[in-house]
Structure 1
Amino acid sequence: MQRRILCLATLLALAPLARAQHVDDNVPITAADRHDVIETLATQLQKRYVFPDVAAKLATTLRARDAGGTYAKDATIAAFGKHLANDMRTLGDDGHFNIHYDPNFNPPTDERPPFPDAAEIARGREEVAERGYGIDSIARLPGNVGYIEVRGFGPTELVADAMSAAMTLLQGTDALIIDLRRNHGGEPNTVAYLMSHFFPVGDQRHLNDIYSRADDSTQQFWTNPNVQPRYSKPVYVLTSSGTFSGGEEFAYDMQTQKRATLVGETTGGGSNPGDIYPIGHGFGAFIPHSRSINPVTHTNWEHVGVKPDIAVPAADAKKVAQVAILKDLVGKATDADRKAELQDALAKVQSGKDDAPVYALRR
């Protein structure tokens, strides 16, 4: 479990080659090294990728492109890595495929790597804390509407308390906006953990299944009966074309469970979880080894993305959700003062104007 915690904490922060490792664009790579990387990649694809038939075709195509000189002009680490990653995603038709580079990449050769030491575990915890446990911001918007932006779903063991604390702060709001427009994924267990806050105690939901090629097994993901607090008010989820992987799962599961209204853009379309595998000379390939199966639809969002209930540009999604929520609250308000407050909040959101904060002492 500890090894999984550290690996997931690190993977949460991984980005594409040029951004993640800040590699000097001018670091050279030889033709022989390029060939070795592609040969190892082809082998890893055939061994790991969740769809063996696709893996075989992709491995053959990459070898043929190497033999035909497709990568001959990629004289640097950065150029080669970017070219290879793009080819994998395009030819393999899977947005999860990626190439990473770290000159110090020294993965364990054992399929079951040893537990990290105390210093490694502490560093993993620091990395998660430095990223706010995946939570970018929390706010109470005008009209008593809650707002939380979740940037990623880190290891449940490390982020669960923070997520529940955030939900405690939002517990008194009359509706909630969950912003996933910049969420690129994370841990399926944590998706289920956060979702558990949105169903009554005793109402356990089967959220998702993940099939793994490695051991031909399927793992089920359910809401957690022990999670507190529970939130029963309306929920709106914001999406963008950049919402990906675990971020998409949260949106998809909330939609299929009829627990949220989705506002924004169709998401990126990546539902196949995976890991980074070594392919030599400091390179690692992210290869999906599993696939999601939703228990309601019996399919997933691969290639097609998650379609919003209210389709608007991502930049407008928050405002559109606020307006929809406030209109609903105005319609349900019975107290005259509360109704006037909500109407004022609605008018300000619609106009794009808001009262400036008052810092002077009010007498």
Structure 2
Amino acid sequence: MRRSAPLIPFALVLALSAQEAPVPVSPLQRKAVVETLAKALKAEYVFPEVAGTVGQTLQAKAAQGGYEGAGTAKDFAEALSKDLREQGKDGHFRVRFDPSFKSDSEEEKPPTKEEIAEARTESARRAFGIAKVEQLPGNVGYLEVLGFGPTEFVGPAFTAALSILSGTEALILDLRRNDGGDPESVAYLVSHFFVEGDTRHLNSIYNRPRNRTRQYWTSPTVGVHYTGPVYVLTSGRTFSGGEECAYDFQTQKRATLVGETTGGGANPGHGVALGHGFVAFVPTGRAINPVTQTNWEHVGVKPDVAVPAAEALKTAHTAILKDLLAKEKDAGARKRLETVLARVEKGEAEPVRYGR
């Protein structure tokens, strides 16, 4: 049924007002939330020696009235997030106010059909994490990935995108706005960049609550294998699974990284209900790269070519064109590449002609 136009913005205003209305938090509620958070850290945080210290520090601050100025749920969540990150030195720590949150248990429970359908729809709305697939001047492929959703949803989209770009001379994978996701999907994407039959151990994740380590390998079932040169773009915003993707390419010596040092978050985890509508993301695991036997926590992934993130695409594209030009023997092809290179270096777009 079609609704009249004035009703829609009015409904949006009501929804936004409801979301932004400050929710008061009492001293007793703050105390209870901090105590629950300290217990959750002690039971699940991947580094138990850090968990105890951080929990005690937060409880001491609460007992001394350190959170009295955080009288609303939003302010209290932000204050806890800030203290967690400062004390724990872990970028994955965060607290939010979300009364609708359903406990995110470490126990493996099969999702319902409704949950699967909802997740698939949401993944599709996000274009399966793919922001752009493009053939750049000079026959250079460009793929921007914003995140890594469940493999069963995003995997076919990754393969389709790389199928489109399979005939390019080189490929640029843009992770500058990628904030992470499923490590299995990271491995699935990276799998496309090795020849068929070349199996690689890419990453392992140790999980403290389960006391077990899971390995992530390249998948033998991907339908496209891209063998050309690869450049990966990074920024300070690149985080978590986005960092792992860049780190996998770098440690396997499969790509040249261009851009900025990444955010430095290598400890995955899950949401924990703290009561009174508050939820904490508690890192329960840590990545262990099979090549370096460490990860990028705190330090980030350092690019091979360090440039500001805004200049990374131009830098990578220019490097590829220069390499293609150095290898090209045909005079006509060289002239075309020289023209493209000159435009890219000047930051000029290739002219589009619609007439015959």
Q: Distance in 2 between matches of 1:328 and 1:226?
A: 32
Equivalents in 1 of 2:17, 2:146: separation in Å?
Answer: 20
How far off its partner does 1:23 sit? 4.0
Partner in structure 1 of residue 95 of structure 2 = 99
* 2:254 alignment partner AA: R
Partner residue of 2:260 out of 262, 265, 276: 265
Uncovered stretches (5+) of structure 1, i.e. residues with no partner: 1-19
Query: 1:117-138, CA deviations, whole angstroms, 9 ceiling, x for partnerless residues?
Result: 4333211111111111010111
The AA in structure 1 aligned to 2:180 is G
CA contact 2:74–2:96 (8 Å) conserved in 1: no
Two-structure CA RMSD over aligned residues (Å): 1.7
Amino acid across the alignment from 1:154: G
Paired AA for residue 55 in structure 1: A
Deviation of 1:225 (Å): 1.1
Name the SS for the 1:237 alignment partner: strand
Q: Which moved more, 1:334-343 or 1:185-194?
A: 334-343
The residue aligned with 1:32 is 28
Distance 2:278 2:103 in 1: 11
Amino acid at match of 1:357: V
Cα distance in 2 for residues equivalent to 1:124 and 1:188? 17
The letter for the 2-side match of 1:305 is: G
Does residue 1:204 correspond to 2:199, yes or no? yes
* In structure 2, C-alpha distance between the alignment counterparts of 1:343 and 1:25, rounded to whole Å: 58
Alignment of 1:166 with 2:161, yes or no, is yes
**Kept in 2: contact 1:198–1:231 (CA 8 A):** yes
The corresponding residue for 2:297 is 302
Matched, 1:216 2:217: no
SS in 1 for 2:262: coil
Is residue 206–residue 213 contact of structure 2 (8 Å, CA) maintained in 1? yes
1:356 pairs with 343, 351, 354, which one?
351
Residues 133 and 111 (structure 1), Cα distance of their counterparts in 2 relative to 1, 3 Å cut: closer
Once the two structures are superposed, residues 16-70 of structure 1 have per-residue CA deviations (whole angstroms, 9 ceiling, x without a partner) of: xxxx999425221111111111111111010110000000000000000101111
Deviations 1:196-225 (A, max 9, x none): 011111111111111111121111111111
Q: Match for 2:299: what amino acid?
A: V
Instruction: Give the drift of 1:242.
Output: 0.7
| C-alpha separation in 2, matches of 1:358 and 1:69 | 67
Contact 2:42 / 2:55 at 8 angstroms: preserved in 1? yes
The answer for the alignment partner of 1:88 in structure 2 is 84
> Does structure 1 retain, via aligned residues, the 8 Å contact 2:325–2:334?
yes
Q: What are the residue-to-residue correspondences of 1:124-203 with 2, within 5 Å?
A: 124-203=119-198
Residue 113 of structure 1: CA displacement? 7.0
Match of 2:74 among 57, 74, 78: 78
Residue 233 of structure 1 pairs with residue 228 of structure 2: yes
Inter-partner Cα distance in structure 2 for 1:125 and 1:80: 33
Structure 1 stretch 118-127 or stretch 277-286: which is displaced more?
118-127
Matched AA of 1:24: E
**In the aligned structure 2, how far is the partner of 1:113 from the partner of 1:174?**
43
Aligned to 2:40: 44
Q: Which letter does structure 1 place at the counterpart of 2:82?
A: N
Displacement of 1:101 in angstroms is 1.9
Matches within 5 A, 1:106-125: 106-107=102-103, 112=107, 115-125=110-120
The change in CA–CA distance for 1:91 and 1:317 in structure 2 (over 3 A counts) is same
* 2:323 partner letter: D
Q: Secondary structure at the match of 2:158?
A: helix
Tell me the distance in 1 between the aligned counterparts of 2:245 and 2:185.
10
Distance 1:219 1:113 in 2: 14
- Within 2, Cα distance between the matches of 1:206 and 1:104? 38
Look up the SS of the partner of 2:79 in the other structure: helix
Residue 58 of structure 1 is matched in structure 2 by 54
Number of corresponding residues: 341
How far apart are the structure 1 equivalents of 2:350 and 2:102? 55
1:208 match: secondary structure: strand
- The CA distance in 2 between the partners of 1:111 and 1:86, in whole Å, is 25
TM-score normalised per structure 1: 0.91
